[in-house]
Structure 1
Amino acid sequence: MRRTLFLSIALALQVTATAAAAEPARVASEAIASQPLDAALNALSRQTGLQFVYNAQSAGNPRTPGVPAGLSADAALSRLLAGTGLRYRYLNATTVTIEAQDSASPAPTSSALAPAGIAVTANAPQPADVAAPSGGAGAQNLETIQVTGSYSRSLEQAVDIKRATVGFSDSIVATDVADFPEQNLAEALQRVPGVTIERSKGLGTKVNVRGLPSEYTHVSINDLATASGSGGRDVEFDMFASEIIQQVTVQKSPTAADEEGGIAGSVKISTARPFDYSERKLVFSAEGAHNSISEEVDPRFAFLAADTWGDWGALVSYSQSKRTNRTDSTSGINFRPSSRFLTASGTRGTQAQSVLLRDAGVNITNRNDSDQTNRVVFQDKVGDRVYLNEQDKWGATGSLQYKPSSTFSLTFDAMVGGYDSTEDEYDAAAYSASSRSTFDTIHEYDADTLSQYGMLVLRDVSYTATQHEMLSKERINKTDYGQYSMALDWKGDSWYVDALVGYSGAEKTSDYSNLKHVAYAPSRTRWTGDSGETIPSSAPGSIDMYNASDKYLFEAYETTLEKVKDDKYAAQVNVTRLLDLAFLPALHTVKFGARYTDRSKERQYGEAKITGPTAGSAAWVNTRTLADSPLQSISDIVPGGSYSHKRLDWEQVSNEYARGAFRYDGFYTPFDPGQFYQVDEKVMSFYAMTDFAFDIGSVPFTINAGARYVDTKVDSFGFHPIQRPDGSTGYTDTPVSKDGSYDDLLPSFNMTAELSPGLLLRAAASKVMMRPALTDVAYKRTASWSSYRFTDGNPELKPTYAKQWEVGVEKYLDNGALFAASYFRKNIDGVVINSLTGMVEDVAVYNANGSLNGIYDFDVYQPVNAKGSYEVDGIELVAQMPLGMFTPWLEGFGINANYTMLDSSLAGESDLGIKTPMPGLSEKTWNFTAYYENERFDARVSYNHKDEYVESIGYNLYPIYRDAYGQMDVSIGYRITDNIKISLKGINLTNEITSGYTMDPSFPTMYEASGRRISLGLRADF
Structure 2
Amino acid sequence: MRRLLALSIALALHASPVIAQQSRMSVEAIPAQSLDRSLNSLSRQTGLQFVYSAQAAGNPRTRAIPAGLAPDEVLTQLLSGTGLRHRYLNDTTVTIEADAPQTSTPAATPGATAPSQAPAAPQPDGAVLELESIQVVGSYSRSLEQAVDLKRSNIGFSDSVVATDVADFPEQNLAEALQRMPGVSIERNKGLGTRVSVRGLPSEYTQVSINDLATASGSGGRDVEFDIFASEIIQQVTVQKSPTAADEEGGIAGNVKISTARPFDYDDRKLVFSAEGAHNSISEEVDPKFAFLAADTWGDWGALVSFSTAKRTNRTDSTSGINFRPMSRFLGASGTRGAQAEAVIERDTDVVIGNRANTDESNLIVFQDKVGDRVYVNEQDKWGATASLQFKPGSRFSLTFDAMVGGYDTTEDEYDAAAYSASSRSTLETIHEYDADTLSQYGMVVLRDVSYTATQHEFLSKERINQTDYQQYSLDLDWRGDTWRLDAMAGYSGAEKTSDFSNLKHVAYAPSRTRWTGNSGETIPSANPASFDMYNSPRRYLFEAYETTLEAISDDKYAAQVDFTQTFDLAFAPALRSIQLGARYTDKSKERQYGELKITGPSAGSTAWVNTRTLADSPLQSIGDIVPGGGYSMKGLDWMQVSNEYARGAFRYPGFFTPFDDGQYYRVDEDVTALYAMADFAFDIGRVPVSVNAGARYVDTSVNSSGFHPVQNADGSTGYTDTPVSKKGSYDDLLPSLNATAELADGLLLRAAASETMMRPALTDVAYKRTASWSSFRFTDGNPDLLPTSAKQWEIGIEKYFYNGGLLAGSYFRKKIDGVVINSFTGIVPDVAVYNANGTLNGIYDFDVYQPVNADGTYEVDGIELNAQLPLETFHAALEGFGIAANYTWLDSSLAGESDLGIRTPMPGLAEKTYNFTAYYENDRFDARVSYNHKGEYVESIGYAMYPIWRDAYGQVDISVGYRINDQLKLTLKGINLTDEVTSGYTMDPSFPTMYERSGRRISLGIRADF
TM-score for the superposition, normalised by structure 2: 0.96
In structure 2, the partner of 1:951 is 940
Corresponding residue number in structure 1 for 2:555: 566
Stretch of structure 1 that moved more, 58-67 or 256-265: 58-67
Q: Which residue of 1 is the match for residue 951 of structure 2?
A: 962
CA contact (8 A) 1:423 1:474 kept: yes
Which one-letter code corresponds to 2:190 in the other structure? K
Of residues 108, 128, 148 in structure 1, which corresponds to 2:137?
148
1:994-1020 deviations in Å (ceiling 9; x for gaps): 111000000001011100000000000
Letter in 1 for 2:177: A
Structure 1 counterpart of 2:255: 266
SS in 1 for 2:52: strand
- 1:804 paired residue number: 793
Aligned-pair CA distance for 1:730: 0.3
Residues 608-627 of structure 1: matches in 2 within 5 Å? 608-627=597-616
1:37 counterpart letter in structure 2: L
The answer for the alignment partner of 1:44 in structure 2 is 42
Aligned length: 996
Residues 5 and 119, structure 2, Cα contact 8 Å, conserved in 1 = no
Matched residues in 2 for 1:466 and 1:93: separation?
Answer: 77
Q: Does 1:920 align with 2:909?
A: yes
**How has the CA–CA distance of structure 1 residues 463 and 585 changed in structure 2, closer, same or farther, with 3 Å as cutoff?**
same
What does residue 283 of structure 2 align with? 294
- Say if 1:642 and 1:743 are closer, same or farther in 2 by CA, change over 3 A: same
3-state SS of paired residue (1:857): strand
Secondary structure of residue in 1 paired with 2:901 = coil
The structure 1 residue matched to 2:459, chosen from 466, 470, 473, is 470
CA contact (8 A) 2:415 2:462 kept: yes
Aligned match of 1:103: 101
The yes-or-no answer on 1:656 pairing with 2:654 is no
Instruction: Verify: 1:718 aligned to 2:707, yes or no.
Output: yes
Contact kept? 2:3, 2:119, Cα under 8 Å: no
Task: Please give the residue correspondences for 1:113-512 in structure 2 after superposition, counting only pairs within 5 Å.
Answer: 132-133=123-124, 146-512=135-501
Q: Distance in 2 between matches of 1:979 and 1:94?
A: 25
How far residue 28 of structure 1 moved from its aligned partner, in angstroms, is 5.8
The one-letter code matched in structure 2 to 1:662 is F
Cα pair distance change 1:28/1:519, threshold 3 Å: farther
From 793, 801, 825, the counterpart of 1:836: 825
Match of 2:758 in 1: 769
Say if 1:537 and 1:48 are closer, same or farther in 2 by CA, change over 3 A: closer
Residue 6 of structure 2 contacts residue 136 of structure 2 at CA under 8 Å; is this kept in 1?
Answer: no
Stretches of structure 1 that go unaligned for 5 or more consecutive residues are 1-7, 108-118
Deviation per CA, 1:688-735: give whole Å up to 9, x if none: 111010001110000011111111111111100001233221000000
**What is the CA–CA distance in structure 1 between the aligned matches of 2:560 and 2:955, rounded to whole Å?**
42
**Aligned-pair distance for 1:249?**
0.4
CA contact (8 A) 1:11 1:55 kept: no
How far apart in 1 are the matches of 2:152 and 2:701?
34
**Residues 574/357 of structure 1: CA separation in 2 closer, same or farther (3 Å cut):** same
Matched, 1:23 2:21: yes
Q: 1:122 to 1:716 in 2, by over 3 A?
A: closer
Equivalent-residue separation in structure 2 for 1:908 and 1:670 (angstroms):
36
Superposition pairs of residues 672-691 of structure 1, within 5 angstroms: 672-691=661-680
Match for residue 546 of structure 2? 557
TM-superposed CA distance for 1:63, in Å, is: 1.7
The DSSP-based 3-state class of the residue aligned with 2:24 is helix
2:30 alignment counterpart? 32
CA contact (8 A) 1:685 1:708 kept: yes
Q: Deviations over 1:628-666 (max 9, x none)?
A: 111111000001111111111101101111111111111
Q: CA deviation at 1:73?
A: 3.5
Does the C-alpha gap of structure 1 residues 343 and 495 become closer, same or farther in structure 2, counting only changes over 3 Å?
A: same
Give the corresponding residue for 1:823: 812
Structure 2: distance between partners of 1:15 and 1:191: 21
Q: Quickly say closer, same or farther: Cα 1:138–1:220, change in 2 above 3 A.
A: closer
Determine the C-alpha separation between the residues in 2 that align with 1:28 and 1:875: 30
Task: Give deviations 1:488-511, integer Å, cap 9, x for gaps.
Answer: 001111111100000000000111
CA deviation after TM superposition for structure 1 residue 14, in Å: 6.7
Q: Could you say if the C-alpha distance between residues 76 and 444 of structure 1 is closer, same or farther in structure 2, counting changes exceeding 3 Å?
A: same
| TM-aligned CA deviation for residue 79 of structure 1 | 2.7
Would the aligned equivalents of 2:826 and 2:849 in 1 still touch at CA under 8 Å?
A: yes
* Deviation at residue 833 of structure 1 after TM alignment: 1.4
Compute the TM-score of the two structures, normalised by the length of structure 1. Answer: 0.95
C-alpha change, 1:97 and 1:951, in structure 2 (3 Å) is same
Structure-2 residue corresponding to 1:86: 84
How far does the alpha carbon of each residue in 1:373-408 deviate from its partner, in whole angstroms, 9 at most, with x for none? 111111111011100111100000000000001010
For residues 577-606 of structure 1, the C-alpha deviation after alignment (integer angstroms, 9 at most, x for no partner) is 111222111011110111110111111111
Once the 2 structures are TM-superposed, how far is the Cα of residue 33 of structure 1 from its aligned partner? 1.5
Identity over the aligned pairs, expressed in percent? 77
Call closer, same or farther: CA 1:431–1:139 in 2, change over 3 Å: same
Which SS does the other structure have where 1:388 is aligned? strand
Q: Write the letter of the residue equivalent to 2:732.
A: D
SS of aligned partner of 1:791? strand
1:897 aligned residue (876, 882, 886): 886
* 2:110 paired residue number: none
- State the Cα deviation string for residues 212-262 of structure 1 (Å, max 9, x = none): 111010000000000121111111111100000000001100000011150
Q: Distance in 1 between matches of 2:72 and 2:204?
A: 43
Structure 1 residue 528, shift from structure 2 partner = 0.6
Deviation string 1:332-363 (CA, Å, 9 cap, x unpaired) is: 11111111111111111111111111111111
Secondary structure of 1:19's match?
A: coil
Deviation at 1:94, TM superposition (A): 5.7
Tell me if 1:631 matches 2:615. no
How far is 1:674 from its partner?
1.4
1:70-110 per-position Cα deviation (integer Å, ceiling 9, x unaligned): 22344323432233233445566665443334426999xxx
Over residues 248-290 of structure 1, what are the superposed CA-to-partner deviations in whole Å (9 max), with x where a residue is unaligned? 0011000000111501101100000000001101110000000
1:431-454, Cα deviation, whole Å (9 max, x unpaired): 111111111111101111111111
- The match for 2:1003 is 1014
Name the counterpart of 1:113.
none
Letter in 2 for 1:133: P
Letter of the structure 2 residue corresponding to residue 153 of structure 1: R
2:695 aligned residue:
706
Secondary structure, counterpart of 1:23 in structure 2: helix
Could you say which residue in structure 2 is the equivalent of 1:993?
Answer: 982
2:843 to 834, 838, 854: 854
CA contact (8 A) 1:717 1:778 kept: yes
Q: Is the 8 A contact 2:870 2:883 kept in 1?
A: yes
- Residues 1:874 and 2:863 are matched in the alignment: yes
Deviations 1:866-915 (A, max 9, x none): 12232111100000011111112211110000000111126363111111
Q: Summarize the Cα distance change of 1:728–1:676 in structure 2 as closer, same or farther, 3 Å threshold.
A: same
Whether the 8 Å contact between 2:383 and 2:407 is mirrored in structure 1 is yes
Instruction: Measure, in 2, the Cα distance between the counterparts of 1:27 and 1:218.
Output: 19
State how far apart, in whole Å, the 1-side matches of 2:777 and 2:923 are.
64
Instruction: In structure 2, give the amino acid aligned to 1:55.
Output: S
Q: Offset of 1:958 from its aligned partner?
A: 0.8
CA contact (8 A) 2:749 2:800 kept: yes
Letter of the 2:22 counterpart: P
8 Å Cα contact 2:26-2:70 kept in structure 1: no
CA RMSD of aligned residues (A): 2.0
State whether residues 897 and 907 of structure 2, in contact with CA within 8 Å, keep that contact through their aligned partners in structure 1. no
The aligned amino acid for 2:535 is Y
Closer, same or farther: CA 106–53 of 1 in aligned 2, 3 Å: farther
Describe the shift of the 1:817–1:48 C-alpha distance in structure 2 as closer, same or farther (beyond 3 A): closer
Judging changes above 3 Å, is the alpha-carbon distance between structure 1 residues 685 and 954 closer, same or farther for their aligned structure 2 residues?
same
Aligned residue for 2:731?
742
User: Is 1:183–1:203's contact at 8 Å kept on the other side of the alignment?
Assistant: yes
Q: Does the C-alpha gap of structure 1 residues 764 and 999 become closer, same or farther in structure 2, counting only changes over 3 Å? A: same
